[in-house]
Amino acid sequence: MTDMIKKTGISRRNLLKTGAAAVAGAAVGSGAITGFPTIWAQNPITLRQFGTGVSNLNAIAEKCKEDLGITLEMTATDSDAAAQRAVTQPDSYDIADIEYWILKKVFPTGVIQPMEISKLKYYDKIVPLFKTGKLTPDSVIAQGTAPHTVGFVEAKDSKEFAKGETEYFTMVPTIYNADTLGIRPDLVGREITTWADIMDPAFKGKTSILNIPSIGIMDAAMIMEAMGNITYADKGNMTTEEIDKTIDFLIKAKQDGQFRAFWKSFDESVNLMASGEVVIQSMWSPAVAAVRSKGIACKYQPLKEGYRSWGGGLGLAAHLEGAQLDAAYEYINWYTSGWVGGYLNRQGYYSAAMDTAKEYMSEDEWGYWIEGKPAQGEIKAPDGTVMEKAGAVRDGGSFLERMGHVACWNSVMDEDRYMVRRWNEFIAS
Amino acid sequence: MNNLLSRATPYLQATPLLVILGFFLALPILLLLVVSFWDYDFAGMYPGFMTFNYAETLGSWVTWKTYGNTLKFAAIVWAITAFIGFWVAYFLAFHVRKASTQTVLFLVCTVPFLTSNIIRMISWIPVLGRNGLVNSALVGAGIVDQPVEWLLYSDFAVILAMVHLYTLFMVTPIFNTMMRIDKSLVEAARDGGASDWQIIWNVILPLAKPGIAIGSIFVVTLVMADFSTVQVMSGGQSASVALMMRNQMSLLQYPAAAANAVVLLVVVLSMVAGILRIVDIRKEL
């Protein structure tokens, strides 16, 4: 990235400084180079962003300051706290960086204002997954809280989600990914093809699932369905009978000693896998990368039933108006303009505006992360650490192959409270 | 006037402590009690007088099972730490002659406490794991064919870590009371013809009771309130009361957690009351 900027011969920071000196007191038009009409350095604007942490990256705040002159104050919380804060302290933030299932809970309370699509510069670059629910025209729409189902409203003051695309967008999608099971290819000793494999008696006492109820129940649902025990009408919104059936199954599996442990935090999952305590478990993609970086074989195994997916976006707080609102739009346009997208793609997540992100990635990076091609050279993380050597292919393959096989999105159920209570019984049993 | 002042003096002297305890102890517990009757959803808490937090807590088999599990841990850990604590303190107090050696050895007991609780606990994982030190040694020596699974992520692991963490809380008060035992009592018993065991059983043990009681209060309250040891060492497979509360708090179900905390408080206070009923620690101090 830095190399790319240097090649143009003019860094944005320098331009800012010169511009500020030359036209003191006035907003500087620098559209020719950055593509952003206003420089906020003259009239400092701070945007307070809070969210679930995945995309609360300091690098983004620094780059935003550099490109736009907007100071970004970021606060990270866990998802339940994020949902609560969004509703109860709506004046404490300007931008909400939350997942779509949280938006489903939060939006009807009126704390997020819909965006006018006409003001979103890169709206047409956003992948159709977030507009129609279909990545390609022949994709099947996944269950759960699919982003497009909570992505639009009919009017500016509407509290209900629209059925299809409208002029008002509730959140601009920023980051998403497809989750599956992680395995130790050296220890499983056979091909893993389905979610049901985690219940194979051969892996007794060597499996783990995550102990975060809202996500764990989805992994359990994928397993249940793969085993043919049940077919859910909607995995993302189970009935109480479906919850009972799923939890009873988990309790039985636990008592039979199928699980070695349950993990709650990222590093626990890394340790379980790296130490060989478990050979197959629920996992998140950065955790797989972390195990591999220790030189231990670990694969993010694609499974025939598809992935469990999650996604987040940026929403505007209802209280934003005037210059702050303009700045927020500008920030969002900047966010989707490519630099951030490239950064997120290089961490193994996906950017919502793929075309713009492509311009900020090398051909090899684009080939490895997005097209599923073998790496030509070393693949490096944004901080410079080597993630993969030449010849490596991303688990699950290309963007289209991975995000095109989403079976279910993270979601919030109507019977949420009942589910959590039963989940606690499973852990205590 | 003078008379009034002298009567007020003790109250004035007690005021600072009263203020501190009132503000940092009584008030929070009162708030806990109040909140436990409130209503809640994902977005917040709503003042009111609802009893369903208690109904849900006390009416669920999970609560009873979890209390059973926690009490089981408390009982086992108490028994082991009391046994170890008594003998370590006995050795320090009666078999080490020089006061300086006593101090040094006592400090040695506290060395592990120079690192944090979490680190001491987590360091068991590479020792007990499937490919850990113990299992590698056992398999390498040909004692077992397959690694022993129950060493880690089991009740055994939880109890082992708790004993490791909490034994010092037993050693210290027992050592303290034993140091106060008049050595001439032991000599008198010996002159009277008592054997070593008789001295321990009839002289030292009764006199060390207050120390054992204080140590027991420490250990029991620590185990009852523990969540991290149970979570980490059982690999999330086992539940404890505090872990249940933590789960509720992480889901922002504060009123439910508060109700749970009140129940736990009542249980632990009755256990402490029970211990104090058996041993009058004030009389002995």
Spell out which chain A residues touch chain B, with contact meaning CB-CB distance below 8 angstroms.
78, 80-81, 83-84, 87-88, 105, 109, 205, 208, 211, 213, 254, 259-264, 271-272, 275-277, 416, 420-421, 424-425, 427-429
Q: What's the structural domain count of chain A?
A: 2
Assess whether A324 and A295 both reside in one domain.
no
Q: What's the structural domain count of chain B?
A: 1
In a domain, B7, yes or no: no
Report pLDDT for B1. 59
Assess whether A203 and A254 both reside in one domain.
yes
Interchain pair A80, B43: CB under 8 A: no
Interchain pair B42, A424: CB under 8 A: no
Establish if B249 touches chain A: CB-CB under 8 angstroms. no
Assess whether A105 and A195 both reside in one domain.
no
Query: Which pLDDT band holds residue A85 (cuts at 50, 70, 90)?
Result: confident
Which residues on chain B are in Cβ contact (under 8 Å) with A78? 250
Report pLDDT for A42. 54
| Phi-psi domain of A309 (left: phi exceeds 0; alpha: psi -120 through 50; beta: other) | beta
Residue A54 has pLDDT above 60, yes or no: yes
Assess whether A116 and A211 both reside in one domain.
no
Assess whether A415 and A285 both reside in one domain.
yes
Query: Which pLDDT band holds residue A22 (cuts at 50, 70, 90)?
Result: very low
Assess whether A221 and A131 both reside in one domain.
no
Which residues on chain A are in Cβ contact (under 8 Å) with B122? none
Tell me how close the Cα of B222 comes to any Cα of chain A, in angstroms.
Answer: 20
Summarised one tens digit per residue, pLDDT across range A177-211 is 999 999 999 999 999 999 999 999 999 999 999 98
Establish if B36 touches chain A: CB-CB under 8 angstroms. no
Tell me how close the Cα of B270 comes to any Cα of chain A, in angstroms.
Answer: 24
Residue B284 has pLDDT above 60, yes or no: no
Segment of A199-203, B61-65, B236-240 carrying the highest mean pLDDT: A199-203
Q: What is the CATH number of the domain that holds A99?
A: 3.40.190.10
Assess whether A88 and A157 both reside in one domain.
yes
User: What is the span of the domain harbouring residue A99?
Assistant: 44-178+309-361
In a domain, B12, yes or no: no
- From the list A147, A127, A126, the residue with the least C-alpha distance to A137 is A127
Give the residues across from A169 on adjacent strands.
A115, A152
Residue A16 has pLDDT above 70, yes or no: no
Report pLDDT for A380. 87
Residue of B nearest to A418 (CA): B56
* Residue of B44 and A418 predicted with greater confidence: A418
Q: What is the mean pLDDT of residues B224-242?
A: 88
Residue A33 has pLDDT above 80, yes or no: no
Q: Is A45 exposed, middle or buried (0-12, 13-18, 19+ CB in 10 A)?
A: buried
Establish if B129 touches chain A: CB-CB under 8 angstroms. yes
Residue A34 has pLDDT above 60, yes or no: no
Give chain A's end-to-end CA distance (angstroms, integer). Answer: 51
Query: Which pLDDT band holds residue B7 (cuts at 50, 70, 90)?
Result: confident
Tell me how close the Cα of B239 comes to any Cα of chain A, in angstroms.
Answer: 5
Summarised one tens digit per residue, pLDDT across range A111-146 is 999 999 999 999 999 999 999 999 888 888 999 999
Element of type H or E holding A144: strand A143-144
Identity at B121, one-letter amino acid code: M
In a domain, A62, yes or no: yes
Which residues on chain B are in Cβ contact (under 8 Å) with A269? none
- From the list A31, A165, A101, the residue with the least C-alpha distance to A311 is A101
Summarised one tens digit per residue, pLDDT across range B105-128 is 988 888 878 888 888 888 898 899
Q: What is the CATH number of the domain that holds B249?
A: 1.10.3720.10
Which residues on chain A are in Cβ contact (under 8 Å) with B251? 80, 213, 420
- pTM for this entry: 0.78
Which residues on chain B are in Cβ contact (under 8 Å) with A205? 149
Q: pLDDT averaged over chain A?
A: 86
User: What is the span of the domain harbouring residue B112?
Assistant: 60-284
Which residues on chain A are in Cβ contact (under 8 Å) with B61? 425
ipTM of the complex: 0.74
Assess whether A171 and A186 both reside in one domain.
no
Assess whether A208 and A348 both reside in one domain.
no
Residue of A nearest to B239 (CA): A428
Element of type H or E holding A169: strand A168-169
